[in-house]
């Protein structure tokens, strides 16, 4: 009797920055996966998702019926078990891999986190917004831009000679962060890196998939016209 192979399924939402991180990685690794758009506003869908992963956080990969959570773990799992021949986002050299994991972590913690705090604040009623935490988040992003810019001097990608998992984290973190805190003129290395990320085919395809949803993004006023035209032209 033949064994049925359970599909590789990614539960995601096209607007989610963390989902973008994994979508970029899937593309870079040459992996096909069933992508299921997750609507946590639907009680039945939410209950089913919580049964899969109790934190309710997305994205969530399900591989052969087994849940694989957390973006960096998902990407490492995908590379180990499903990557096309010759494709990798984490170097095989142990020291180089540590640098990739470090910068992956730095972008998640110091760019993605304050960016998401600014998004969350916009979702609050206007008369109940936290101006102090908003100022702190903006300051955190400005500070992160400065030391990332310094690190990028003489580099094409953030942690390795090749595009890596750290760049998968950087692309969506910066894409949304600059809608709140634009890159200052003095941070030319970061600006050049941002442009390289936005021109990467895997990143372009991920952004293209999200375009119909940008009208619902709270920080959409900060999106460049090349990504979102509020007039629909």
199: CATH: 1.20.1050.10
Q: Ramachandran region of residue 97, left (φ > 0), alpha (ψ -120 to 50) or beta?
A: alpha
What does the mean pLDDT of the chain come to? 95
| pLDDT (mean) for 216-225 | 95
Domain around 179: 94-207
Please choose, from the candidates 194, 200, 155, the residue with its C-alpha nearest in 3D space to the C-alpha of residue 178.
194
| Cα separation, 197 vs 203, whole angstroms | 7
Q: Nearest-CA neighbor of 60 among 51, 50, 70? A: 70
Residue 2 lies in a domain: no
- The DSSP result for 102-113, as a single string, is HHHHHHIIIIIH
Establish if 39 belongs to a structural domain.
Answer: no
Rounded to whole angstroms, how far apart are CA atoms 95 and 116?
Answer: 30
Share of the chain above pLDDT 90, in %: 92
Give the mean model confidence (pLDDT) for residues 89-95.
97
Backbone angles phi, psi at 89, to 5 degrees: -120, -10
Give the pLDDT confidence of 12-42 residue by residue, as tens digits: 999 999 999 999 999 999 999 999 999 988 9
In this structure, how many other beta carbons lie within 10 angstroms of the beta carbon of residue 205? Answer: 13
* Share of residues in the chain with pLDDT > 70 (%): 97
Name residue 36's beta-bridge partners.
11
The answer to whether position 169 is within a domain reads: yes
Number of domains in the chain: 1
**Is 214 within the bounds of a domain?**
no
Question: Per residue in 117-176, pLDDT tens?
Answer: 999 999 999 999 999 999 999 999 999 999 999 999 999 999 989 999 999 999 999 999
């Amino acid at each position: 009797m033949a064994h049925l192979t359970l599909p590789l399924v990614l539960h995601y939402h096209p607007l989610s920055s963390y989902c973008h991180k994994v979508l970029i990685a899937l593309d870079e690794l040459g992996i096909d996966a069933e992508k299921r758009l997750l609507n946590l506003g639907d009680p039945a869908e939410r209950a089913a998702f919580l049964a899969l992963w109790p934190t309710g956080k997305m994205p969530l990969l399900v591989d052969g019926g087994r849940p694989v959570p957390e973006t960096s773990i998902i990407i490492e799992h995908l590379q180990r078990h499903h990557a096309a021949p010759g494709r990798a986002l984490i170097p095989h050299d142990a020291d180089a891999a540590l640098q990739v994991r470090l910068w992956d972590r730095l972008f998640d913690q110091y760019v993605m986190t304050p960016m998401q705090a600014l998004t969350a604040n916009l979702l609050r009623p206007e008369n109940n917004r936290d101006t102090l935490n908003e100022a702190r988040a903006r300051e955190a992003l400005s500070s992160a831009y400065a030391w990332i810019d310094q690190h990028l001097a003489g580099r094409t990608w953030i942690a390795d000679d090749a595009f890596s998992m750290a760049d998968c984290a950087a692309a969506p973190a910066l894409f949304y962060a600059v809608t709140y805190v634009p890159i200052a003129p003095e941070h030319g290395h970061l600006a050049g890196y941002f442009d390289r990320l936005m021109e990467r085919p895997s990143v372009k395809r991920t952004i293209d998939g999200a375009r119909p949803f940008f009208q619902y993004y709270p920080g959409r006023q900060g999106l460049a016209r090349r990504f979102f035209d509020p007039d629909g032209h």
